Structure formats: C-alpha cells, structure tokens
C-alpha cells in the first residue's frame, strides 16, 4: 500500500526526522490557510498523487508551457493561484501513464533554500533477505537514469536485520553522500532513524528524493515515497487509515472486496485462473501465442459462483478486454461446480466477448458437458497450450 507524501512526512516526523513544515489542503481556501500558518516568504505547493516525477509533470487541462505539480510560490497570492490551477486537474508524469492522475489534494510546505540534493532509499532486498540502503550524491533526478548512466555514483549498503543497524552502516551512508563535518554526523543519525522507522512500520520501500542540505547546512527530507507490506497493515492502524482508495485502480479495490487477487495489465485477453502459479503460467502462454494478458486474476481455491461472477464483471469493465480465458484446475473445487458458476456468471453479465474455458481435475467430464449444453458460445479447451491458441484465434476472428 502506498501513501501520500504529506502522510509519509508525518510518520517520519513522529520518528524525530527533520522535514519542512507543511499542511495538506483539499480546497483553494485550505491551501491559503495552510500557507498563512507557515513563516514564508517562500512556499511550495505540491500535488499529492501516488506517483513521482510531479515536478516535471504536465497538466492535461493546462497549456504545455504551464508549470508542473511542484510549484514555488513567493507569496500567499501565488499559493492561491497555484492551488487554483492544480486542484481538480489531471497531472501526467513519467510514473502515472498517459491517462495521468487527478489532483484532489495539495501539500503546502515551507520553501527550502537548497544547497545540494541527495538520494537515499531503503527497501527489502529479497535476494539477500536483508534491508538495502541506497545512497547517491545525485538526488532530485530520476534514480533509474543515474543507475544507467553513472552507476558508480550509487552505493548500496545492506543491513542484516538479525544484526540490526550498526554505527558503521551510518558512516558508510554519510561517506557515500560525500559529507563531512556536521552534515556527516546528521546523515549517520538520519540513516539510523530511517532504518528504525522502516522496520517498525513494516515498510517495503522508503525513498527520499531529494534529501537536501539547506544553506544553513541542515539535512532535510524534501520529498518521500513510502510503501507498506499489505500483510502487516493490521499491525499499524494509523497507517491503514492513510489509505487513499481514490489513488488506487477502482477494479483492484473492487476485487479486494471479493478477496480476488486482481492486477490490471496492458493487454487484451482477460484471464480468470485459480492459483497464482497457474495464473502466471497462463499469462506466459498467452504471450507465447502472440497476445498479451489484460490482467492477472487469481480467484483462489474456494471460488464460488458469486466470486466467479464478480471476477467476470471486473474483467469486463476493462474496455481493452477482447476475449476471456478461464483456466481452472478443479482440485478442492469440482469442475462441474465451476462450470455451473461460469455459465451463471456468463449469463448474468451478458457476455459479449469470446470465452475459452479450460477445465482440468475432478469431474472434468461433467464440467465440460455443462459448458457444452449451456447454449452459450463457450469454446472448450483441453490443455493450457490449446486454450491460449484458441482464445488468441477467437479474438482475431472477432476483430
């Protein structure tokens, strides 16, 4: 789960980490009020969306020369103007995709006189089973570009959670940022605080870009992105409350209500599968046959008619879907029960695109008969390869 920048900064502040002062705002009036509570004379108005690259982003509704989603304002009037231009409009950044994201919240924060921008992030490194801390002197820009063009400017420090954060880890971070004197000390302390917050809140990723040194030689977190391990959210009610469903894919939110694991993808073949492994294999075989999956969808072990219907509806809401492939292994579930569910669901949703079903497992024969006798144009397939070939061909035929 992701949260907004202003929420992430609240959490960091609770851990004693220095962030510029600021307030969230939902309206132009609130933005003005927020600015009045800050000392000025420089304010920054920042679009709050779950995507980075806001500064260089463009608003769909504004002309191409208009400023992006991070705006410096020299007065309260300029704050008001920036808020008016941003709220309700759609910001497109390198991370939002072409459709962009509507800006419904702003963060009005203190302007900082920046001397240097650094990069610092923490993430769970699955390969080593440790926490990786990544530091670079090249902050404020796209870290992927830095990694590609100047990989020597990125240092990775791994911390074994069994051992915990040691002073040498802090020194390594400060050294990687090429800091000396007092800022070096600040960086060591900050690295330890970030590591502790990361662990305590069960984060998956914590990125600070940029971490800045201001003209008074203070290190400050200027921008941050945080994501959390969804399986651990029950331990952090305060974080769970920060969830902003308007930022999430509506289909994914609906799917989670039915306990379906659904992830939207870019292709045209909707997939309904039980078991994550089978779902992955199904997507691979669709690609092998020259088409692309429109989604990952695992209906789970105990798929009921209700669940199957919900899954169908979610898949069909995606206008890109031109055909559906159902691939179910009847293990705990019996194939005839599944077939009944599919027929019922197909009728309920008035299925308008080709449907190929591959069933395997207990009572498979009975299941196939139910599909055949349903009167619906359901194409039955024998195995995974056959199923993928058939759905790709059906979609081509329909086009």
- Residues forming contacts to ligand ADP in the complex (CB under 6 A) are 20, 44, 46, 52-55, 70, 109-112, 114, 117, 140, 209-210, 222-223
| Residue for token pair 């420089």 | 42
User: Out of Mg ion, ligand ADP, none, which partner does residue 320 contact, by CB within 5 to 8 A per kind?
Assistant: none
The residue whose Cβ lies closest to Mg ion is: 223
| Binding track over 215-254 against Mg ion, x by CB under 5 A | --------x-------------------------------
Nearer to ligand ADP, 118 or 195 (CB): 118
Sole window of 24-32, 62-70, 90-98, 206-214 interacting with Mg ion (rule: CB under 5 A): 206-214
Pure H helices in 258-398: 276-288, 305-317, 335-348, 364-372, 384-398
Under 8 Å between Cβ of 66 and 85: yes
Separation CA 158–CA 169 (nearest Å):
8
Separation CA 307–CA 298 (nearest Å):
11
Under 8 Å between Cβ of 288 and 389: no
CB of 223 to Mg ion, least distance (A): 4
CB of 117 to Mg ion, least distance (A): 9
Query: Can 119 be counted among the known catalytic residues?
Result: yes
Could you say which of 5, 85, 138, 207 is catalytic? 207
Q: Is there binding between residue 5 and Mg ion (CB under 5 A)?
A: no
User: Out of ligand ADP, Mg ion, none, which partner does residue 70 contact, by CB within 5 to 8 A per kind?
Assistant: ligand ADP
Separation CA 142–CA 94 (nearest Å):
10
Q: CA torsion angle for 226, 230, 235, 240 (degrees, to 10)?
A: 60
Return the ∠ at Cα 58 (arms to 52 and 63), rounded to 5°: 170
Residue ranges for the known binding site are 46, 53-55, 112, 117, 209, 223, 274, 331-333
User: Out of Mg ion, ligand ADP, none, which partner does residue 360 contact, by CB within 5 to 8 A per kind?
Assistant: none
CB of 50 to ligand ADP, least distance (A): 11
CB of 399 to ligand ADP, least distance (A): 39
- List phi, psi (to 5°) of 35: -65, -35
Under 8 Å between Cβ of 91 and 103: yes
Q: What is the token pair recorded at 8?
A: 């992430």
User: Out of ligand ADP, Mg ion, none, which partner does residue 54 contact, by CB within 5 to 8 A per kind?
Assistant: ligand ADP
Q: What is the DSSP letter of 293?
A: B
**Which residues are known catalytic residues?**
119, 207
């Amino acid at each position: 789960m992701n949260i907004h920048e202003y929420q992430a900064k609240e959490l960091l502040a609770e851990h004693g980490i220095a962030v510029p002062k600021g307030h969230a705002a939902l309206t132009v009036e609130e933005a003005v009020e927020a600015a009045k509570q800050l000392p000025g004379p420089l304010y920054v108005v920042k679009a709050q969306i779950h995507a980075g690259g806001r500064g260089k982003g463009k608003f769909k509704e504004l002309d191409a020369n208009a400023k992006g989603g991070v705006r410096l304002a020299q007065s309260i009037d300029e704050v008001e103007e920036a808020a008016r231009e941003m709220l309700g409009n759609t910001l497109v950044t390198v991370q939002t995709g072409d459709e962009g994201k509507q800006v419904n919240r702003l963060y009005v924060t203190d302007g900082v006189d920046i001397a240097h921008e650094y990069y610092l992030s923490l993430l769970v490194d699955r390969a080593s089973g440790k926490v990786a801390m990544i530091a670079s002197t090249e902050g404020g820009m796209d870290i992927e570009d830095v990694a590609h063009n100047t990989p020597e400017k990125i240092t990775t420090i791994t911390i074994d959670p069994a051992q915990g954060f040691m002073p040498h880890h802090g020194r390594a971070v400060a050294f990687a940022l090429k800091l000396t004197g007092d800022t070096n000390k600040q960086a060591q302390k900050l690295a330890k605080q970030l590591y502790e917050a990361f662990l305590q809140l069960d984060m998956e990723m914590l990125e600070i870009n940029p971490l800045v040194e201001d003209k008074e030689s203070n290190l400050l977190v200027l921008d941050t992105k945080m994501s959390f391990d969804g399986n651990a959210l029950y331990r952090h009610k305060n974080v769970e409350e920060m969830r902003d469903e308007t930022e999430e894919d509506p289909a994914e939110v609906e799917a989670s209500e039915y306990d379906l694991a659904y992830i939207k993808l870019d292709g045209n073949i909707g997939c309904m599968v039980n078991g994550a492994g089978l779902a992955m294999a199904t997507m691979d075989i669709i690609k092998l046959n020259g088409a692309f999956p429109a989604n990952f969808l695992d209906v789970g072990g105990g798929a009921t008619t209700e669940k199957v219907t919900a899954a169908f509806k979610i898949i069909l809401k995606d206008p890109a879907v031109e055909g559906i492939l159902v691939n179910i292994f009847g293990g705990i579930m019996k194939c005839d029960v599944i077939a009944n569910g599919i027929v019922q669901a197909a009728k309920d949703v008035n299925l308008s695109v080709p449907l190929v079903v591959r069933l395997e497992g207990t009572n498979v024969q009975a299941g196939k008969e139910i599909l055949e006798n349903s009167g619906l144009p359901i194409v039955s397939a024998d195995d995974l390869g056959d199923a993928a070939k058939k759905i790709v061909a059906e979609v081509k035929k329909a086009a």
